[in-house]
Structure 1
Amino acid sequence: MSTVKTTMRAVSQDVLGGPEVLKEVEVERPEPRANEVLIRVRAAGVNPTDWKHRAAGIFLGEPPFVLGWDVSGVVEAVGFGVAFAPGDEVFGMLPYPYGVGSHAEYVIAPARALTHKPSAIDHVQAAALPLVSLTAWQALVEHADLRPGQRVLIHAAAGGVGHVAVQIAKARGAHVIGTASAGKHEFLRGIGVDETIDYRETDFTEAVKDVDVVLDTIGGDNTLRSLRVLRPGGLAVSILPVAQDEYAKEAERLGVRAVWMLVDADRAGMEAIAELVEAGKLRPAIAGTFPLAEAAEAHRLGDTGRTTGKLVLTVD
């Protein structure tokens, strides 16, 4: 007689700190409520926001908590009113920042945060996409309305958000300028970057002028400096916290526009991403994969800040 498993493995932490605070634990398996989906996780992306929350809590406060916003897997069960069915392959981003928890064998997600996994990619590739692709899509398409022929500067263009943003910008017909260390320039050219800048050797504010859009994925003084390279009326989008009053005043002084955004879970955005994947216009670069139990190793690699593309946890 078979019994339904009521517990699951997850990667949790009891204190804030380095990768060593992460540990595999056995916890109660959740059950879906109305408009919710229980996903059996096949793979889950790891993003800079994961290791920042691990170290500092940020939005989540004090542990214990299970990290992970990216998910690709198979529908295990559904709550009332959900159109998905058990067995469906889905991917998406859990609502950011409080809907966390995909670094586990199972996770609950709102049905409208998910869409069907594209058949053109596997679960590892699918799990690498949601958070970074929604970030790039919302920045470049929804905020900037990027159009054919426009010039866009993408900082850290070989990073998780950056390399996906490059591909979305190219799919929109834009001219892409990307910053990265020299060793990553061949990779950037391979994904469509038209002009590369070695940020270690060149001040981008001297090398670039009159761009229509800047996507700032770095923060710090890079955010305000990015405003200087825009054409009059151009738009800078920062995905990292900024001093908003100073940001807005400097943008007004320069006659440009400035936006700070947090990524938001969105089925329509995920469906647009899935269409790009199926059309062969978007593929994630996988920097490394790690079994769930080795999540700390993924975090150690992520902490270096030198990966190209995305890190992904796999769940058997």
Structure 2
Amino acid sequence: MADLPVPRPGPGQVRVRVEACGLNPSDYQRAAYGIPEWTWPAVLGLDVVGVVDAVGEGVAQVGVGQRVAHLGDIRERGGFAEYTLADATVLALVPDGLEPAVAAAVPAAGLTAYQSVVRRLRVAKDDTVLVTGGAGGVGGFAVQFAALAGARVLATEAGHNAEHVRSLGADAVIDFRTEDIAARVRDLTGGRGVDAVVDTVGPDSATANLGLLVHGGGLAAIAGRPDLGVVAPFGIAPSLHEIALGAAYSLGDERARADLSTMLGELLSMAADGRVDPMLSRTVPLEGVAEALVELSGRQVRGKIVYVAA
């Protein structure tokens, strides 16, 4: 814990008085390894919700006093603080009635799952979808989006979380600790395989799951690319979608950043009207963030933990 000067918004920026900020795996990963672009001392926290406190030159999208949410730039100081700065282009208005803590459970995990299931894989009615890690943030959102699309959803998860994952919309839950995932998927699909995979585990898992795709199927890689070398060329012809939302800041243009706002606005509306459960598991004060990140790094947390300002 430390004191920093209250930041001043530059052109195109707003200052947000933080009300809540979600915890994500990228936070503990960056805490362990850092990134070259950081200015020290660094401040973690990507899933920011709060009230616009001041606006910089040229900002017309929002005004002082409006409650907003955004997915932050990992290179900049984030939301585990009292105040943070944001690019006005990426901001989404938080619907009336949606609690800040609930809204802060949405950005990183929700956007990642939304881009995977809706934008890239284009999951549709009667598709069969495999989601790994169905009780996690991204996995839980992916299960919900696939179910909303009318797909049959298979999910992997530890047995004690099976009922929770089913409550999100999974038709079957495979216990990755006790069952052979590939064999179980083949059994559940009559040997056919799946139309789409959302892999939240890592490169090895994604590589193994390529072999479960039907001809023309697609895989969204959240935590690392699969090895396409395991798939014969001009065979099942899989499509691979690497999800890297944060690169909208470092490599994207203004259109890419504005799309973060568009997608997040859609997701917050879905959360506000009950179509999507943001899966808020609990809240912590600022002093409890470090301990909660250590817990999150154990990969056993169900849903989302959110920091809430005093």
TM-score normalised by the shorter chain: which range applies?
0.7 to 0.9
Q: 2: CA distance between counterparts of 1:149 and 1:58?
A: 42
Matches within 5 A, 1:93-132: 93-95=71-73, 97-132=74-109
Higher strand proportion = 1
CA shift, 1:284, in A, is 1.6
Alignment of 1:258 with 2:240, yes or no, is: yes
Cα contact 1:125–1:283 (8 A) shared by 2 = no
1:72–1:127 contact (8 Å) kept in structure 2: yes
Shift of 1:306: 0.3
2:273 is the counterpart of 1:273: no
Matched residue type, 2:59: G
Deviations 1:147-204 (A, max 9, x none): 1221111100000111111112222222211110010011011111111111111111
Tell me the TM-score normalized by structure 1. 0.86
Q: Distance in 2 between matches of 1:65 and 1:280?
A: 36
Deviation digits for residues 17-60 of structure 1 (CA, Å, limit 9, x no counterpart): xxxxxxx1100111112221111000001100100110112565
Q: Deviations over 1:234-288 (max 9, x none)?
A: 0011112336xx3366374643222222124511111221231233111222233
Change (3 A) 1:251 1:152: farther
Amino acid at match of 1:263: L
Amino acid at match of 1:250: V
1:92 maps onto 2:91 in alignment: no
Q: Extract unaligned runs of 5+ from structure 2.
A: 187-192, 247-256
Q: Distance in 2 between matches of 1:54 and 1:132?
A: 19
Q: Which of 204, 212, 216 is the aligned partner of 2:195?
A: 212
Q: CA deviation at 1:70?
A: 0.6
1:289 to 283, 302, 307: 283
The equivalent position to 1:140 in structure 2, one of 114, 117, 121, is: 117
- Aligned-partner Cα distance in 2 for 1:142–1:59: 30
Query: 1:67 corresponds to which residue?
Result: 44
**Paired residue for 1:151?**
128
CA distance in 2, matches of 1:100, 1:161: 23
Change (3 A) 1:63 1:127: same
Match of 1:81 in 2: 59
3-state SS, counterpart of residue 221 of structure 1: helix
Relative distance call for 1:242 and 1:251 in structure 2 (3 A) is farther
- Output the CA distance in 1 between the equivalents of 2:158 and 2:35: 29
Could you say what secondary structure the match of 1:231 adopts?
Answer: strand
Decide which of 209, 217, 228 is 1:247's aligned counterpart.
228
Q: How many positions carry a matched residue from both structures?
A: 290
Shift in alpha-carbon separation, 1:203–1:58, aligned structure 2, 3 A: farther
Identify the residue that residue 31 of structure 2 maps to in structure 1. Answer: 54
Which sections of structure 1, spanning at least 5 residues, go unmatched? 1-23
* Amino acid in the other structure paired with 1:112: T
* 1:171 is aligned to 2:148: yes
Amino acid of the residue matched to residue 168 of structure 2? I
* Structure 1 residue 133 displacement after superposition: 0.6
Instruction: Give, in whole Å, the separation in 2 of the partners of 1:99 and 1:270.
Output: 20
Deviates more, 1:156-165 or 1:290-299: 290-299
The answer to which of 273-282 and 178-187 deviates more is 273-282
SS of the equivalent of 1:26 reads: coil
| Secondary structure, counterpart of 1:66 in structure 2 | coil
Distance 1:298 1:34, change over 3 A: same
User: Aligned-pair distance for 1:314?
Assistant: 1.2
Letter in 2 for 1:226: N
1:59 to 1:308, Cα distance in 2 relative to 1, 3 A? farther
Distance in 1 separating the partners of 2:7 and 2:54: 10
SS across alignment from 1:200: coil
Shift of 1:100: 4.5
The alignment status of 1:315 with 2:309, answered yes or no, reads: yes
Q: CA RMSD in A?
A: 1.9
Asked if 2 retains the 8 angstrom alpha-carbon contact of 1:37 and 1:111, the reply is yes
